[in-house]
Amino acid sequence: MSSISVAFQKAKANGNGALVGYITAGDPTPDLTLKIADALIKGGVDVLELGLPFSDPIADGPTIQAASVRALRAGTTPIKVLEIAKEIRLRHDVPIAVMTYYNPVFRMGLDKFFALAKECLLDGVIVPDLPIEEAGDYKKAASKTCVDTIFLAAPSTSNERLKRIVECSSGFLYLVSHFGVTGTQTDVSDSTIALVKRVLPFTAAKIPLAVGFGVSKPGHVSRIIGAGADGVIVGSAFINLTQKHKDNTNAMLKELQAAASALKVATKIKA
């Protein structure tokens, strides 16, 4: 069983859903990314998701797009992201997944990318613009190095295709909560709850289900976990705090840890 799957299992054994925390690696600087990761993990993040900055992040909203620009300007490269992942992994017993678009992986070469991923102790990879129909070689390369392949399902995904995505995925299934791009939302819609309940029969006893896109508040987390999801993914809310306190690192880290703690408390599974 992979480290990511074990993290979800541990959370459930403790009566909680899993909290997956996303940050853009290198934002605002590669060195500060390590401290940000420390703060989120101290706050209770069960799985850390590192965004690999890319010039054309089509699935991301303004918050993560801006974070990618800042990270690229700070000199963050794909190899640097993997090195950051290794440093964090050596400091914490928390699994790490990298979220990247396919272009950087393709340019590096599948075998080289996954060899480096294994060397840097990476646990999983998420590629939002790679459909399962074109992921055969990618899946083979990942399997050789025992790196989880985390695929995404959307509200428009048919039941037939959902079965295939679940079969291809490992670690967890990333369920996109709504149409559109990443970013904070004011509330969790009834359609998101209905989506979770539709997908659960396909993932039950097969793979953990984690819901992302727009999840930013404890109330969001509580409602999604209450609907039966195994975990939630929070990103833009953390990045907003990083940018809000860009001139005061101590305040930034304190608020990030507090935010992660509040979100983790909200993952409590109610009887």
pLDDT, residue 123, reads 98
Active-site residue (options: 27, 46, 60, 230): 60
Residue 180 clears pLDDT 80, i.e. is over it: no
Q: How confident is the model at residue 220 (pLDDT cuts 50, 70, 90)?
A: very high
Who's near 184: CB < 8 A, 6+ residues apart? 63, 214, 216, 236, 237, 240
pLDDT digit string, tens, across residues 74-95: 999 999 999 999 999 999 999 9
Whether 270 is covered by a domain: the verdict is: no
Helix (H) or strand (E) holding 98: strand 96-99
Residue 148 clears pLDDT 80, i.e. is over it: yes
pLDDT, residue 200, reads 97
User: Average pLDDT for residues 31-39, to the nearest whole number?
Assistant: 97
Whether 49 is covered by a domain: the verdict is: yes
pLDDT, residue 185, reads 56
pLDDT, residue 62, reads 84
User: Average pLDDT for residues 256-265, to the nearest whole number?
Assistant: 98
Stretch among 22-36, 41-55, 176-190, 217-231 having the lowest mean pLDDT: 176-190
Question: How far is residue 172 from each of residues 46, 90, 143, measured CA to CA in Å?
Answer: 13, 22, 15
Whether 91 is covered by a domain: the verdict is: yes
The answer to whether 46 is a known catalytic residue is: no
Whether 134 is covered by a domain: the verdict is: yes
Q: How confident is the model at residue 186 (pLDDT cuts 50, 70, 90)?
A: low
**Residues spanned by the domain of 145:** 3-265
Query: pLDDT higher for 160 or 61?
Result: 160
Active-site residue (options: 49, 123, 148, 230): 49
CATH number where 245 lies: 3.20.20.70
The answer to whether 60 is a known catalytic residue is: yes
Average pLDDT over the chain reads 93
pLDDT digit string, tens, across residues 90-121: 999 999 999 999 999 999 999 999 999 999 99
Domain total of the chain: 1
pLDDT, residue 32, reads 96
Q: How confident is the model at residue 214 (pLDDT cuts 50, 70, 90)?
A: confident
Kindly state the DSSP code that residue 133 receives in the 8-state scheme: G
Residue 179 clears pLDDT 80, i.e. is over it: no
In 3D space, the residue among 96, 92, 112, 95 whose CA is nearest the CA of residue 104 turns out to be 112
Phi-psi region of 131 (alpha: psi -120 to 50; beta: other; left: phi over 0): beta
Continuous H helices in the chain: 3-13, 30-43, 62-73, 78-91, 102-108, 110-119, 136-144, 159-168, 190-203, 218-226, 236-244, 249-265
